[in-house]
Structure 1
Amino acid sequence: MEVGRRDTGSRRTLSQINVTPFVDVMLVLLIIFMVTAPMMEQGFDVNLPEVENAPGIASKEEPLVVTIDSRGRISIGKSRVNSPAKLIPLLRQIMKERKEQSVLLEADQAVAYGKVMQVMAAVKQAGIARVGMMTQPPRK
């Protein structure tokens, strides 16, 4: 028996996992998600007309909102529609899956009245009888 001598003849496998590459990959993924998350929300800025004493909405279901932004672009939720005519089949499809057959129209106050009326006519042609206009309370 020799003192201080190790057994070098037999090779042992490492049973530990190196977590450094795993942590590196997770940090890269975290950075990617942090950078892309703000890009995922593509809302439309709409400057609503101001109205005093506008009635509120009492509904159990989330209302379907058709938006017309200041440039006259039409969208339903986050999906853009090219024209009022293309809005009709899309609304019919959406309304098949909904209980409440109503639409809220969110139009920027800078949009021409004619454009709003075209969208309202398309909503009516889609078979939706109840159309509401979204407003905001006056700023003080």
Structure 2
Amino acid sequence: MRNHRSHYLGAEEKARIEIIPMIDIMMFLLVFFMLATLKMIQGAGIKLDLPQSSTAEQLQQTVKVSIGVTKTDEIYLDAKPVTPTELTAHLQGLVHDSKKVDVAIAGDEGTSYKNIVKVMDLVRAAGISSVALATNPTT
């Protein structure tokens, strides 16, 4: 017959696996390896003493310009209203500073095609060939 006494005194419990301390340890390991990886990536750079050159050129900086065209033929250069001559003069100044200029033209939805082409001509007259038309993605 079974021992009734053990039944009343808190019978043998099944072994349980506590998962919370294991999760804590896994999170600690994850953070540790992430930080260790970040430190290794930074340390991957090689310190070099570059030789000097008399014909070295500086890399061109890219200047990004946005031009807005409204339905009423108003032109905005980086959110400031400008005239066509001011726009051309400003863009020529940027090109003259030997910088690469990328232009994005954003036309209002009701703007005529003629106005967009007119602004594109002004940009090309300033010597800039990198022109893009801004749009909103469809959902």
> Bigger radius of gyration, 1 or 2?
2
TM-score by length of 1: 0.49
Higher RCO structure (Cα 8 Å, ≥6 apart):
1
- Tell me which protein shows more helix as a share of its residues: 2
